[in-house]
Amino acid sequence: MAAVQRSNYLPYLQQLLDTQGDTEGVAIESVCGICQENKLDISKSAREFTSSIEPPEEHLQLHRNFVDYLKHDIERTVVLACGHVFGDRCIRGLLAQGSDLVCPSCGFRMAYQGCGHAIAPALIQVEGNNPIRDTFPLTIPEGARDPQNCMECRWRHIRSHIRYALADECISCRQRTLAHVPLDAAGHRAHRDQHMSIGLRQSLDDILALVWPEFVTRETNSSLSKASAESERHQIHVSLLNAMVRSEMEDTIWYRTKAGRSTHLTKEQLRRHTRGMASIEQTLLGWLMDSTREQRRMW
């Protein structure tokens, strides 16, 4: 007979999540720590029930699952960044109150330390006894990295870096011009290209980190190959993004390249530069938002 582990702390439970189909293994039995009544669907007895539910038509899937769960006092399991698991319905009830979500078990405030915006709980997708440990992000006690800011605030930070890298002139060259320090044309162009290349590449790396965060998992067999594939895809997309931005810059961006002169860009050149910058930002932001819709939630 299987031993029973009762806990709502994921670091104690996570290695057991994929073994609930093993009759000799350790069985998880967990109830929601908020209502103290509803059984979480990561529990062995609940997963045995959910795996026996006859699959309905696809368009009725969510409604049917909700009704079956409600009828048997089962809740889908969500995990907070602090590692505690609760019932989805009970957590949504707390969120509906409008205040910041605080973990009922440990008091952890579900907000990013940098910007203060809310951290969304992560749903643990349970499908019968199928492996699930790689379907939701690591919690902080398991070694997850705290990004400090939400995705929107990180995008604003990245956008400011892009604007700095693609400015019509770099700050150091502008300061030299204002100080009437002669600039060598070849040196100026080389410095400008290096400034733009390094700054742009870093910004694109940051964007990819938002779209595909580093795949840190609980070291299951499937996760190792997935982490390798994610890393390769990351490098490919950074290169594609870099080529796309460079191509658009050639058509729409004007730079001050005549070193040592006091002449300024014409109004038309400035307008084209502004339009080009806006076009690049919108392209990157659109690509970012389209891609993140396909990704799992992250802390």
Instruction: Show the 3-state SS of 43-110.
Output: CHHHHHHHHHCCCCCHHHHHHHHHHHHHHCCEECEEECCCCEEEEHHHHHHHHCCCCCCECCCCCCEC
| Helix, strand, coil share (%) of the chain residues, nearest 5 | 50, 10, 40
Confidence of residue 258 (pLDDT cuts 50, 70, 90): very low
pLDDT over threshold 90, residue 88: yes
Average pLDDT, the chain: 76
Asked if the model's pLDDT at residue 83 lies above 80, the reply is yes
Kindly tell me if the per-residue pLDDT of 8 is higher than 80: yes
DSSP 8-state class, residue 111:
B
Can you tell me which residue has the tokens 């299987």? Answer: 2
Burial of 286 (0-12, 13-18, 19+ CB in 10 A): exposed
Q: How confident is the model at residue 66 (pLDDT cuts 50, 70, 90)?
A: low
Other beta carbons less than 10 A from residue 1's beta carbon: 6
- Say what the pLDDT of residue 298 is: 40
Q: Give the percent of the chain with pLDDT over 70.
A: 75
* Average pLDDT of the segment spanning 120-141: 86
Give the Cα separation of 229 and 242 in Å (integer). 20
Q: How far apart are the first and last CA of the chain?
A: 37
pLDDT over threshold 80, residue 227: no
Q: pLDDT over 90 for what percent of the chain? A: 18
Question: For 14-52, what is each residue's pLDDT tens digit?
Answer: 888 888 888 788 899 999 999 998 999 999 888 877 766
The side-by-side arrangement of strands in the sheet containing 85-87 is 85-87, 77-79, 122-123
Q: Look at residue 3 in the predicted model and tell me its pLDDT.
A: 85
Q: Is a pLDDT exceeding 50 seen at residue 246? A: yes
- Give yes or no for residue 61 having a pLDDT over 60: no
pLDDT band at 58 (very low <50, low <70, confident <90, very high): very low
Residue 254 confidence (pLDDT):
54
Collapsing DSSP to helix, strand or coil, 236 comes out as helix
pLDDT for the residue numbered 155: 80
- pLDDT score recorded for residue 204: 79
Give pLDDT tens digits for 175-218: 777 787 776 767 777 777 777 777 777 777 787 777 666 555 67
At 295, the pLDDT band (50, 70, 90 cuts) reads: very low
Q: Mean pLDDT across the stretch 58-80? A: 72
- Of 156, 152, 157, 90, the residue nearest 121 (C-alpha): 90
pLDDT in tens, 94-120: 999 877 899 999 999 999 888 889 898
Confidence of residue 257 (pLDDT cuts 50, 70, 90): very low
Enter the tokens of residue 262: 């006091």
Q: Which pLDDT score, from 0 to 100, does residue 165 have?
A: 75
